[in-house]
Amino acid sequence: MSTLRALRWLVIGLAMPGVVHAGRPLSTDDATILGPKDCQLETWVDRSRVATDFWAAPACNFGGNFEWQVGASRTHAEGQGALSQTYVQGKTAFVSVDDNPWGVGLTAGVQRFPLRETESGWSNPYVLVPVSFQLGTADRLLHLNVGWLRNSEEKRDITLWGIAFEAPISGIPLTVVGEVFGENASRPFYRLGGRWTQVARNLDVDLTYVARSGGTKSEKILSLGLYYKLDQAIP
């Protein structure tokens, strides 16, 4: 098998369920969006024993109640690297958990996998409904997701789901995060780690471990990410 072909299959193997892209470091989405004219940049590295994915995903709210995000990843494996995935998505919050004890939103998007011969164009549309609840305080949160994805390669519909929590540690700028997420009745993935808030002004750093019970080498991932917010970045 050629190196490029091996890379192609590694990309397929690394594609976790719940491919809807949520706020760092969780894969489970939350019921909140950026404020009008605010922007953010999320960038992270997913490292498994077989490959490394480098991601960048800027987002902006150009005014109103919609947040728009684009993202792209470059995968390195067996000494070679290539653009492996891109996506475009929009998100709205009908009720934001930032301002209420609970919130509900809607996320929708499409993806592109340049290394997959049958999916090099835009495909795999998805829709997700995130619901979030404050657990006593505004920064202790529970997130529930249910959604739909059309697997264009396999020509089948997939149900997406996720459950996540965020719990700040009193006295230090650290929030513990955890989640379980998956698709249909397949064995789920889990994530556990932390987010260090305000490392610098508007800058957060996160470190998490993602795995699947009985999973392959590509399904055990160490993820390191940065989140930077720009207030009123759009004139």
pLDDT digits (tens, 9 = 90+) for 118-131: 666 788 999 999 99
Q: Which of 128, 190, 138 is nearest to 160 (CA)?
A: 128
pLDDT band with cut points at 50, 70 and 90 for residue 186? confident
The CATH number of residue 19's host domain is 2.40.160.40
> What pLDDT does residue 153 have?
80
> What pLDDT does residue 119 have?
60
Residue 21 pLDDT > 80: no
Cα dist from 87 to 6, 70, 108, 231, whole Å? 23, 6, 11, 24
pLDDT band with cut points at 50, 70 and 90 for residue 20? low
Residue 1 pLDDT > 60: no
Is position 86 within any domain? Answer: yes
How many structural domains comprise the chain? 1
Is position 184 within any domain? Answer: yes
Pairing of strands 52-60, 221-230: unpaired
Is position 80 within any domain? Answer: yes
Residue 148 pLDDT > 80: yes
Q: 30 is in which domain, residue-wise? A: 3-230
Burial 185-195 (b: 16+ CB within 10 A, else e): eeebbebebbb
Instruction: Tell me the average pLDDT of the chain.
Output: 88
Is position 235 within any domain? Answer: no
Is position 177 within any domain? Answer: yes
pLDDT tens across 159-170, in order? 999 999 999 999
Model's pTM, two decimal places? 0.89
